[in-house]
Amino acid sequence: MENKSHAFWAGLFTIALLAAIVGAVYWFNVDRTVRVPYDLVSRSNVTGLFPDAAVRYRGLDVGKVQSIDFDRGHPGQIVIRILVDTHAPITRSTFGSLGFQGVTGIAFVQLDDTGADLAPLPTSAKAVAQIPMRPSLFDQLQQRGDVLLKQMEIAAKSVNEMLSPDMRDQLKATAASMQHAADGVTHLSRQVEPALAQMPQTMEHVNHALSAANALVAPGGPLVTNLNRAGQALASMNDTLAELSARVRYDTLPRFNALATNVGDASRTLKDVAGDVGRNPRSLLFGAPAAEPGPGETGFAWPSAAPAQ
């Protein structure tokens, strides 16, 4: 009986220990994060996306995919229900796209924001907000596949045209022209070598010329000295001209004005003499007649009165 009782209690203890371990593991592994639902609306393929797939906001895990289903109200659309942490910055300009993990083909939801409207996007279990879904990089490549194929066809045709016989002949002619140009450059370099050999001597002459020019234009050089002398001569000439101008203004001009006045007086006198000679030509031989006596002088007589009519 004691062995059975001991075995019972040992088994009970083992079961209780296992239950405690399971409870602890569950307690520490259970996800207590508060999440809110959002619906991603997509019209493109969602290949590789499964429930419980990760939801990342610019690379950070912020939730998981809850379900993937068709939109019964809008045929052709797919509704992806995601659960996102409440602290995730979901705004009215947030959008979603599919990302892929390496080469496994397993997809996840990548959230991003354009920044056009930073107002928070409210949501709840009763009124789930919708987030637009943009095509992934793979979808964009698939949509542009026709354009890429056409461009590849055009490139292939261009390559075929370049490899045509006429084009090959033109390429050969171009290569021959380039070879001829290279030969000309080689010949030119050989002709330039003597000039390059004389370059050090030429530079030495140039240096001597520059040294002579520096000595010529130095502060105590002949050029500056001659320029200073010329400047002094010009200054002296300027002073002489100023003195001459002053003399002409204050000495010569007054004398000339006096001379002009005397000449004017002489011309008036000569004019009066000419008038007297014109009135009495005898005065030129006998001199001017004596002036008649005036009133009160000897020999003055009053003129006789005119006879009455």
End-of-domain residue from the set 238, 254, 270: 254
Of 87, 119, 82, 118, which is closest to residue 97 (Cα–Cα)?
82
Does 307 reside within a domain? Answer: no
What is the number of structural domains in the chain?
3
178 and 238 co-located in one domain: no
Where the chain has pLDDT below 50, the residues are 306, 308-309
Does 296 reside within a domain? Answer: no
157 and 181 co-located in one domain: yes
Range of the domain at 247: 218-254
* Cα distances (angstroms) measured from residue 232 to each of 114, 238, 245, 260: 79, 10, 20, 40
136 and 181 co-located in one domain: no
40 and 138 co-located in one domain: yes
166 and 132 co-located in one domain: no
46 and 116 co-located in one domain: yes
Residue-level pLDDT at 64 = 92
76 and 135 co-located in one domain: yes
Element at 172 (helix H, strand E): helix 165-197
Does 6 reside within a domain? Answer: no
Does 181 reside within a domain? Answer: yes
Does 259 reside within a domain? Answer: no
Does 73 reside within a domain? Answer: yes
64 and 80 co-located in one domain: yes
End-of-domain residue from the set 235, 254, 273: 254
167 and 103 co-located in one domain: no
> Please, what's the b/e burial string for 224-236 (b: 16 or more CB within 10 A of its CB; e: otherwise)?
eeeeeeeeeeeee
Does 272 reside within a domain? Answer: no
60 and 78 co-located in one domain: yes
130 and 66 co-located in one domain: yes
175 and 244 co-located in one domain: no
Within a 10 A sphere around the Cβ of 247, how many other Cβ atoms?
Answer: 11
Does 203 reside within a domain? Answer: no
Identify whether the C-beta of residue 259 lies closer than 8 Å to the C-beta of residue 266: no
Residue-level pLDDT at 57 = 93
Q: Which two tokens stand for residue 123?
A: 């949501």
